[in-house]
Amino acid sequence: MLRSLSIRDFVIVDTLDIELAPGFTVFTGETGAGKSILVDALALALGGRGDASVVREGAARADISAEFSPPAQALPWLSEQALEGDNGSLLLRRVIDSAGRSKAFINGVAATASQLRELGELLVDIHGQHAHQSLLRPDAQRMLLDQQAGLAPQAVAVAAAYKAWRAVVRQREEFESNARNVLLERERLAWQVGELEKLATKPGEWADVSLEQNRLANAAALIEGTQEALLDISEAESGAMLSRLSALEHKLARLQDIDSGLRPVLELLEPARIQLQEAAYALKDYLDRVDLDPARLAEIDARVDAIHSTARKFRLAPEDLPAEYDRLAQELAQMAQATDMESLRAHEAALQAQYRELASGLSAARAKAAAALARSVTDAMQELSMAGGRLEIALRPCEPASYGLEQVEFLVAGHAGTTPRALQKVASGGELARISLAISVITSGATATPTLIFDEVDSGIGGAVAEVVGRLLKRLGQERQVLCVTHLPQVASQANQHFQVSKDSEGGERTVSRIAPLDGKGRVEEVARMLGGLEITATTRKHARELLAF
């Protein structure tokens, strides 16, 4: 819902701030007072086109801000664009300077005009002779029909089936147009997988064989060094470490009988001797296990060389070869599947059949829904001074597409004896607005747009028909926020909120537009003016009070 609109230096508006309420709101005033300027300003805030001509004469820039309560359907878009606001508020701002340069902001963050337009379509729908009329777009007409009939889930399923089918079609066409290159690539992959499969490296193998090669290549030095260490510790004929340490212990043991202060030294030497003895045992065990094995060394050397050579060929580190094999094998399997033309064609045919089944079901449901919607809107048109007019919804067969097997087009005949034409080709702006009103009222439960604006919906009508328009707008206002620019008292009297737009001359030099909310007394005076012109009489005031039910 639109909460407030703030306008600065826009056309003939210098400063304007209005607070808006839910329900049905009207804007009235004399011709030329600037009623439609409010709609134009809002359209600009919603991403409409603007240039330097919209800047009030003598001002540096035009600045329009519109604050909304963000509807549920806008929240995913705001999140995706990282433009979420605070405290359940959504603020759109558009600034155009006197040189025609434009800036746009969403929740205080710089945005593009196209982002404003995308978001604006989720917030406001403007009906009338102005831009931003979603009903004129064929895709919007199709979506409206689907929403009205509850066919959105079927449409989503059709789109998904179409996407899956076309993906396989592109895969098959790509293979057919590039078959030789694909086969060459497949052969290259098969050779690479074969090379790695023959080598059959395992994760961690490179580290293991490198360590074993280093140990085997230095086996002789390991044996010699270990034997020398063992000899020094325990097996030398004279001067072995264990013998000397034992002799030292015996000597100090005798001396401690003389002086017990040597006992701590003996207590330190005993574990040293035990540790030295354990080292000797470990060295003997190691010598029993280690051996010169030229055959194993040759085998390991050959394996290291094979792994290293293959790694150079693939321009990889040796330890990365197992992962590369897994990657290439998977790619080869996928390519083999993708280049199996018989399977591809069978898969394509199955997906096409699935799409056509879903699309045909959607077509049948659309045909039934289109007839019902056309009848309802046609009935509403009769009440809106369009006697004999009718709406037809044409479902034109087309090539299979993501949206189905037909294009949806709204065709309108404004009155009896005329041929229905596309909605966007309706000549009269007022006629278009009334048709849009009829469609909006009938489909108000299907559309999610929270704010609807009607500009000149009452063009060319009056009397009882005008009263019907007012009642329709008020009824629509029970489900949506409805803003309406009108010159008919019968419409204005139905509103929940009423603003009067006026035009003042400041010192006779410039004209500015003003707007004011009306209370009960003000509404009587304004409706009386709309009924009786410049001269307001007791009779017109009485009639105004009757319309307002005061």
Greatest mean pLDDT range, 110-114, 274-278, 433-437: 110-114
CB 5 within 8 A of CB 41: yes
Whole-angstrom distance, CA of residue 14 vs CA of residue 20: 19
Q: Do 225 and 328 belong to one domain?
A: yes
CA distances from 447 to 144, 147, 443 (A): 7, 7, 6
What's the confidence (pLDDT) of residue 17?
Answer: 92
Residue 107 is assigned to a structural domain of this protein: yes
CB-CB contact of 408 with 395 (8 Å): yes
Is the pLDDT confidence value at 207 over 80?
Answer: yes
| pLDDT above 70 for 117 | yes
Tokens representing 101 are 């340069």
CATH number of the domain encompassing residue 56: 3.40.50.300
Interval 464-482: pLDDT, tens: 778 888 888 898 898 889 9
Q: Are residues 118 and 243 in the same domain?
A: no
Question: Does 124 lie in the same domain as 23?
Answer: yes
Sheet containing 13-19: order of strands: 13-19, 2-10, 61-68, 90-97, 102-106, 109-111
**Can you say whether residue 235 is alpha, beta or left, with left for phi > 0 and alpha for psi between -120 and 50 degrees?**
alpha
Give how many domains the chain has, as a whole number: 2
Q: What is the pLDDT of residue 239?
A: 61
Is 461's pLDDT higher than 70? no
Checking if the pLDDT of 268 tops 50, the result is yes
Contact status, residue 144 vs residue 446, Cβ threshold 8 Å? yes
DSSP letter for each residue of 235-260: I-SS--HHHHHHHHHHHHHHHHHH-G
Mark whether 315 and 216 lie in a shared domain: yes
Can you give 36-51 as a three-state secondary structure string?
A: HHHHHHHHHHCCCCCC
Q: Which of 475, 501, 503, 496 is nearest to 486 (CA)?
A: 501
Chosen domain end from 295, 319, 335: 335
DSSP secondary structure of 291-336? ---HHHHHHHHHHHHHHHHHHHHHTS-GGGHHHHHHHHHHHHHHHH
Residue 109's SS3 state is strand
- Tell me: the pLDDT tens digits for 416-435? 888 898 887 775 666 776 77
Does residue 348 belong to any structural domain of this protein? Answer: no
Q: Point out the domain boundary residue: 310, 335, 360.
A: 335
The whole-angstrom separation of Cα 510 and Cα 297 is 103
Instruction: State pLDDT tens for residues 122-162.
Output: 999 887 654 345 677 888 899 889 988 889 899 999 999 99
Quick check: 290 pLDDT over 70?
no
Q: How far apart are CA 306 and CA 284, in angstroms?
A: 36
What mean pLDDT do residues 217-229 have? 71
Structural domain includes residue 384? no
Decide: 461 and 429 in contact? Cβ < 8 Å.
no
Range 11-24 average pLDDT? 92
**Residue 125 and residue 42: Cα distance in Å, rounded?**
11
Least confident of 90-94, 351-355, 392-396, 430-434: 430-434
Strand, coil or helix: 275? helix
Say if 60 falls within a structural domain.
yes
**pLDDT at position 179:** 63
- If asked whether residues 116 and 206 sit together in one domain, one would say no
135: nearest Cα among 428, 329, 423, 384: 423
Residue that is last in its domain, among 270, 303, 335: 335
Do residues 204 and 326 share a domain? yes
User: pLDDT at position 383, please?
Assistant: 79
Residue 249 CB burial class (10 angstroms; 0-12, 13-18, ≥19)? middle
- Same domain for 120 and 210: no
| Cβ 391 vs Cβ 439: under 8 Å | yes
184 is a domain residue? no
The half-sphere exposure of 503 on its side-chain side, counting CA atoms within 13 A, is 15
46 is a domain residue:
yes
Helix (H, G, I), strand (E, B) or coil at 514: strand
- CB 171: neighbour CB atoms within 10 A? 15
Count Cβ atoms below 10 Å from residue 237 Cβ, excluding itself: 7
Output 252 or 158, whichever has higher pLDDT.
158
pLDDT of residue 95: 95
What number is the average pLDDT over the span 49-76?
Answer: 91
Query: Does one domain contain both 329 and 204?
Result: yes
Domain of 247?
A: 200-335
- Backbone φ/ψ region at 246: left (φ over 0), alpha (ψ -120 to 50), beta: alpha
Inform me whether the pLDDT recorded for 550 exceeds 70.
Answer: no
Q: Are 338 and 171 in contact (CB under 8 A)?
A: yes
Residue 291: pLDDT band with limits 50, 70, 90: low
Q: How far apart are CA 263 and CA 245, in angstroms?
A: 16
Is there a contact between 3 and 68 (Cβ–Cβ < 8 Å)?
yes
Instruction: Give residue 41's pLDDT.
Output: 92
Of the chain, the percentage scoring pLDDT greater than 70 comes to: 88
CA nearest to 94, candidates 60, 123, 66, 56: 66
Statement to judge: residues 123 and 42 lie in one domain: yes
Tell me how far apart the alpha carbons of residues 27 and 455 are, in angstroms, rounded to a whole number: 10
Contact status, residue 290 vs residue 226, Cβ threshold 8 Å: yes
Question: Is 351 part of any domain?
Answer: no
For the chain, percent of residues with pLDDT exceeding 90: 34
Instruction: Order the strands of the 124-127 sheet from edge to edge.
Output: 124-127, 451-455, 481-485, 24-28, 497-506, 510-517
User: 44 in a domain, yes or no?
Assistant: yes
